[in-house]
Amino acid sequence: MRAAPVWAALPLAALLLAGCAAAPRRESVAPPAWLAAPATWRIRQVVLIEFGAAKFAIQGLMELDVAAGRIRLAALDDFGVTLFRLTIGRDGDQVDFLLPLVPRGEDVTRSVAASLRRIYLDPAGAAPGEGGVVLESGADGNVAAASPRGSGGWRVWYDEYGDAGGVPVPRLIRFQQRGGASLTIRQESVKRVDK
């Protein structure tokens, strides 16, 4: 008996690949639940920052005040030394402290501030079909991605949702911007502190 030619298996392979493809994402009807309520969250995170050829990991202690549209971040190294502290609002940011030893410190803090605004603050004010941010929901109904309406050159992915006081929050967030910083955030602890 002769073996079938390799090309005969191509339709079967295509069918298998199509069946394994992820469910299509759709534009979300509302901001994510964890950003919709006027809540204040305290978040402990581990962050990998990639800025050009430089890569470094930090620990982040963050307070996110959704109602005020404000983020306060303290970035620490593995020994607990504060590298920088930022206050980020919807319209601007402020460097509260910058350790002089941080390589390209001003560029890094400016890029991290812009990234965090896009990850946390911009989606909170996104309205379906309006504004500058498009939210996509996954098959489970949670927001899976955010990107600018048009071609803004950045994208956020939200993944591995878990429960935080009855609210689904992503435990893994990835941010990528063309020509800027890329962040991978593992949210270790997320607690609502305004109740």
160-184 tens-digit pLDDT: 999 999 999 999 999 999 887 899 9
8 A C-beta contact, residue 117 and residue 148: no
Domain range enclosing 149: 25-192
Band (pLDDT 50/70/90 cuts) for residue 190 is very high
Residue 57 within a domain: yes
Residue 13 within a domain: no
Torsion of CA 123, 124, 126, 127, to 10 degrees: 140
Residue 135 within a domain: yes
Residue 8 within a domain: no
pLDDT of residue 181: 81
- State percent of the chain over pLDDT 90: 57
Question: What tokens does 78 get?
Answer: 């593995």
**CATH, residue 57:** 2.50.20.10
Amino acid, res. 26: R
Band (pLDDT 50/70/90 cuts) for residue 126 is confident
Question: What tokens does 146 get?
Answer: 């955010």
Q: Which residues pair with 88 in a beta bridge?
A: 71, 93
pLDDT of residue 62: 98
Residue 9 within a domain: no
Report which of residues 188 and 51 the model is more confident about: 188
Instruction: Report the domain count for the chain.
Output: 1
Residue 14 within a domain: no
User: What is the rounded distance in angstroms from the CA atom of residue 11 to the CA atom of residue 21?
Assistant: 15
Q: What b-and-e string marks burial along 78-94, b requiring 16 or more CB atoms within 10 Å of the CB?
A: eeeeebbbbebeeeebe
User: What is the rounded distance in angstroms from the CA atom of residue 26 to the CA atom of residue 14?
Assistant: 24
pTM for the full predicted model: 0.83
Residue 6 within a domain: no
The phi, psi pair for 90, rounded to 5°, reads -65, -30
CA 37, 96, 89: angle at the middle one, nearest 5? 30
pLDDT of residue 21: 44
In this predicted structure, the answer to whether residue 138 has a pLDDT above a threshold of 60 is: yes
27-74 tens-digit pLDDT: 655 788 888 878 999 999 999 999 788 888 999 999 999 999 999 999
pLDDT of residue 61: 98
Report which of residues 88 and 37 the model is more confident about: 88
Region 18-29 average pLDDT: 50
